[in-house]
A and B are shown apart, each in its own frame.
Chain A
Amino acid sequence: MHELSIALSLVDAVCEELPRLGEKVSIRRVLLRIGPLAGVSADALACAFEIASSDSPIAGARLEIEQADGRALEIAALKVVDAAADC
């Protein structure tokens, strides 16, 4: 439940970035940094992210989790492709 709420916040936070990434981009990967004190289970979050993102503009994006320090819970980077190139 807890990770699902965080996954939904994560999807919102990534979607907020979309306008500045250019037109018709697709997000391939979301690189997330999680600290041991963030109170978040990486496995549960990865599972929740699939569900939370499935019906969103970033559907299909994969979550990559990297260990960080302290309470960190931040999106470090996004791997993006221009959707037009895919056609």
Chain B
Amino acid sequence: MLPRIVEVRKNVLKKNDLAAAALRDRFRAAGVCVVSVVSSPGSGKTAFLETTLALMRSRYRTAALVGDLATECDAERLRRSGAPVRQITTGTVCHLDAEMIERALDGRALADLDCLFIENGGNLVCPASYGPGEQLRVVLLSVTEGEDKPLKYPTIFNSADIAVVTKIDLAEAVGFDHAALLRNIERVRPGMPVLPVSSRTTYGFSSWMALIARRIGDAQPEPTPVHIDG
């Protein structure tokens, strides 16, 4: 019998996309703002989240999920902020996908949270294809990594909503060229907001907190519409 060709037209990551869509619905219904943070290893994701959680503590109910290949180190550091933290150890898998997030959230009530942070592994290539259902994706890069990072890893810059430049307190010491970085970001993702911060000195965190506050406001469940005539 002759071979036949069956047309399929099916997205390979459909399962992840469906799981991510279900998560997004769950986050929306609970009115929780979900922010994911991606970067290469050593860019300062954990330090950035430590400072973020500490600054948000008095005003917001926050929680974090952190993904790593092994150890609970990151979770232990973040727990010092007082926020509930769950570590997802991925074994040899380099990313968190929607199904892993779903499993990690199992049984957790989301409605009592304002903001959930997801620290998504440590590389710039892989999480680009796997969305965990977040509303805001932040890509971090540190001044020690070089201004050409956006050109080398355009996919993650294309899929993220905002770029945060960390370790800005070291900029002078490493001869960081801020203008060159902005040019490179502009080349791969025109119009992308760029936020320089230092997690040690909290430089730049007032802008970051203002942005998060707006996002948390946006994530609140819509009030019943009131019609005003005239």
- Residue of A10, A37, A85 near B155 (CB, 8 A) is A37
Interface of A is mostly: mixed
Are A75 and B12 neighbours in the complex by a CB distance under 8 Å? Answer: yes
Q: Does the CB pair A78–B5 fall under 8 Å?
A: yes
Q: Which of A1, A28, A77, A85 contacts B93 (CB 8 A)?
A: A1
Interface centre among A2, A38, A78, by most B CB within 10 Å? A2
The smallest C-beta distance from B1 to any residue of chain A, in angstroms, reads 4
The distance from the CB of A16 to the nearest CB of chain B, in whole angstroms, is 8
Q: Which B residues are CB-close (under 8 A) to A78?
A: 5-6, 8
Q: Is the pair B12, A76 in contact by a Cβ cutoff of 8 Å? A: no
Which of A28, A32, A39 interacts with B128 by CB under 8 Å? A39
Instruction: From B5, B7, B13, give the contact of A73 (CB < 8 A).
Output: B13
Inter-subunit contact A74/B6 (CB<8 Å): no
Q: Which of A5, A13, A17 counts the most B-chain CB atoms under 10 A from its CB?
A: A5
State which of B7, B15, B97, B158 has its C-beta within 8 Å of the C-beta of A76.
Answer: B7
Does A9 interact with chain B (Cβ within 8 Å)? yes
- Asked whether B13 lies within 8 Å of A76 as measured between CB atoms, the reply is no
A-B contact count (CB 8 A): 80
Q: Are A2 and B14 also in contact (CB < 8 A) when A76-B7, A80-B3 are?
A: no
The answer to whether A69 has its CB under 8 Å from any CB of chain B is no
Is B16 part of the binding interface, using a Cβ–Cβ cutoff of 8 Å? yes
Given A2-B129, A39-B155, A76 and B8 contact (CB-CB distance below 8 Å): yes
**Closest A residue, CB atoms, query B11:** A74
> Residue B4 at the A interface, CB < 8 A?
yes
What's the minimum C-beta distance from B110 to chain A, rounded to whole angstroms?
26
Chain B contacts to A: CB under 8 angstroms: 1-16, 92-95, 97, 125-126, 128-130, 155, 158
A80 to B1, CA, bound (A): 10
A residues bordering B, Cβ < 8 Å? 1-2, 5-6, 9-10, 12-13, 17, 21, 28, 32, 37-40, 73-82, 84-85
Given contacts A13-B12, A39-B129, contact A82 B1 (CB under 8 A): yes
* CB-defined contacts of B92 to chain A, threshold 8 Å: 1
Residues on the A chain within 8 Å of B9, using CB: 74-76
* Contact (Cβ within 8 A) B126 A2: yes
B3 x A17 contact (CB < 8 A): no
**CB-CB under 8 A for A37 and B6, given A1-B126, A9-B15, A13-B14:** no
Q: How far is the CA of A73 from the CA of B39 in the complex (A)?
A: 23
Residue of B nearest to A34 (CB): B12
In angstroms, how far is the closest chain A Cβ from the Cβ of B82?
34
- State the Cβ distance, B204 to closest chain A Cβ, in Å: 29
Which residues of A have CB within 8 Å of B12?
Answer: 6, 9-10, 13, 32, 73-75
Q: How far is the CB of B138 from chain A (nearest CB, A)?
A: 18
